Amino acid sequence: MGILGWTAVWVVITFSIYIGIAIWSRVADTRGFYVASQGVPAVANGMAVGADWMSAASFISLAGIVSFIGFDGSVYLMGWTGGYVLLALLLAPYLRKFGEYTVPDFVARRYYSKTARVVAAVAALFVSFTYVAGQMRGVGVVFSRFLGDFLAPFATAIGVEVVTIGVTIGMIIVALYAVLGGMKGVTWTQVAQYCVLIIAYLIPAVAIAAELTGNPIPQGAIGDVVPVLNQLSADLGLDMYTGPFSNLSMLNVFCITFVLMAGTAGLPHVIVRFYTVKTVRDARWSAFWAIVFIGILYTVAPAIAMFSRLEILQSFNELGAQGMAQQLGWVQNWTQAGLIESSGWTADTTVQQMLGGIDRDIIVLATPELAGLSAWVVGLVAAGGLAAALSTASGLMIVISSSLAHDIYGEVINPDASEQKRLRVGRQAIFVGVIVAGLAGIYPPGFVAEVVAFAFGLAAASFFPILVLGIFWKRCNRQGAVAGMIAGLTFTFVMIVLMRIHIITRGAIAEPFIDSFLGINAQGIGIIGMLINFALTIGISLNTPAPPQKVQDLVEQVRYPRELTPDELKEAVAEARG
């Protein structure tokens, strides 16, 4: 059986499991729909957090971007992993103590304002739709490459591209288990998806590490590959692979890393996962298990990046670009999928031109073919890529649904709506989100990791300051929080549009309006939005009335793992005042 057959087998098996879980875990009330009735065990929640957080950007694109820009690509490793530690230690247990459904719930209660709730819900929608665009791009990449031949007749018959059919199938699956099971269905599906994606990620990494170095542990093989890769890069006239600041300036390395850290800590679909466990203690254990599960993939990603880079450069060194296009099956396959542009490769094509013709998003998916592994491994990696994209997309669908149906409809437009009415609106909201996400997958605005990085910038500029200040500074009030969120989100969004207008419009506008702001590029600009948010929130809070005493007491309560008695609360408040 070939790659097409094995991919179809794995996709049918895994999708059947996801649908089966959806039917088994269907819910009938809003508590089950939004927070899985707060009954998810810590280990399972840690695994679901891992799948939710390790999106298509992590599975498909992370190793690719590290492979292409070398040392500077480590900003994604440092930013995303560092941000998760920040979230686990600084925010998650405190937010769980509130015991609400959504991040806008926290914002509304902490800042005693419906306006703050609406602004937070709109910010969550901005972040989630931006993030889901990256996931659907990943789904399109997988389907167009691995199932393109199978889907092509259907696509031709109805006059659409293969990517359109692939994205549509993916979104139907997500809509099915998100609508039936809500957060409960999404949680247990994400547990299954984590198992699929981590197995799919490790098998080729272990096989290639053993083949290249004799050491089957990918992390351990890096030390043997780096000197060879650096020497080969120098021989071909490229910058040293492990040399710093070859592709990004020191300023942008710092800004992007910090934005990814703060953005991770402010991502609503990750935060809401900590509302699904029973206690604050379980929230802390969830964070621990999630770090373990995430760490497995993130320590392997740099190894895959180096292995693939070494294979590609060795192929170029031996065959040249023209020889690669004529003799290597993986180049021909990905060219046919439209993700390698090799038609212009000649004997005079330089290594830089050859690398420029390869889509970064294919690296992980192409690695098994590149190393000549069996067809079933290639198919399994494709299923893993789909699992990563769909798990995050489903988590984002819950956030989109809760923002529209719970925070805006249920709490602002129609507070008297019945339980069943709210549940019905929540399910309808998922269908709206699915349609928008599907369009983003069919008309992708850029590389997966780049699109996702924009979502982190928006999250860092909108949520991170008001969450941190809301927990640790009792003087922070609603006037400051609302102004800070609006200013931070608006500034960052406008800057990203100005710098990426040529990508967003898919070339209709040929050049960006500006290349950078104060030397900071689009992926790092969220740091300025975040600083604006902090400055406005603090400045306006200090010049407007303090929050009511009951809100300040609430903030004091949140800092303790258990519920304080009235006397203990008075004592804690007195100590805080000195």
Q: Which domain holds residue 348?
A: 3-449
By the 8 A CB rule, do 25 and 184 touch? yes
pLDDT class for 477, splitting at 50, 70, 90?
Answer: very high
Q: Give helix 103-110 / helix 448-472 axis angle, nearest 10°.
A: 30
pLDDT class for 446, splitting at 50, 70, 90?
Answer: low
Distance CA 102, CA 104 (A): 5
Does residue 546 fall inside a structural domain? no
Using alpha carbons, list the distances in angstroms from residue 503 to 229, 355, 391, 524, 559.
32, 20, 26, 17, 44
pLDDT class for 54, splitting at 50, 70, 90?
Answer: confident
pLDDT class for 445, splitting at 50, 70, 90?
Answer: low
Does residue 538 fall inside a structural domain? no
Helix, strand, coil tally for the chain in percent (to 5) = 80, 0, 20
pLDDT class for 387, splitting at 50, 70, 90?
Answer: confident
Does residue 555 fall inside a structural domain? no
Residue-level pLDDT at 562: 63
Percent of the chain with pLDDT over 90: 22
Mean pLDDT of the chain: 85
By the 8 A CB rule, do 130 and 455 touch? yes
Distance CA 307, CA 363 (A): 10
Query: What is the model's pTM?
Result: 0.82
By the 8 A CB rule, do 270 and 81 touch? no
Does residue 87 fall inside a structural domain? yes
Does residue 273 fall inside a structural domain? yes
| Type of residue found at 236 | L
Lowest-pLDDT choice from 30-44, 340-354, 461-475: 30-44
Structure tokens at 278: 């029973």
Residue-level pLDDT at 354: 93
Residue-level pLDDT at 564: 66
By the 8 A CB rule, do 93 and 271 touch? no
Residue-level pLDDT at 528: 95
Does residue 409 fall inside a structural domain? yes
Task: Answer whether residue 483 shows pLDDT above 90.
Answer: yes
By the 8 A CB rule, do 224 and 212 touch? yes
DSSP string, 138-188: HHHHHHHHHSHHHHHHHHHHHT--HHHHHHHHHHHHHHHHHHHHHHHHHHH
- pLDDT tens digits along 175-226: 887 787 788 888 898 899 899 989 999 998 998 899 888 899 998 999 899 9
Residue-level pLDDT at 437: 80
Does residue 572 fall inside a structural domain? no
- pLDDT tens digits along 88-98: 888 888 887 77
Does residue 571 fall inside a structural domain? no
Residue-level pLDDT at 476: 95
Q: What is the mean pLDDT of residues 136-142?
A: 74
By the 8 A CB rule, do 354 and 331 touch? no
The CATH number of whichever domain residue 177 belongs to comes to: 1.20.1730.10
**What's the total number of domains in the chain?**
1
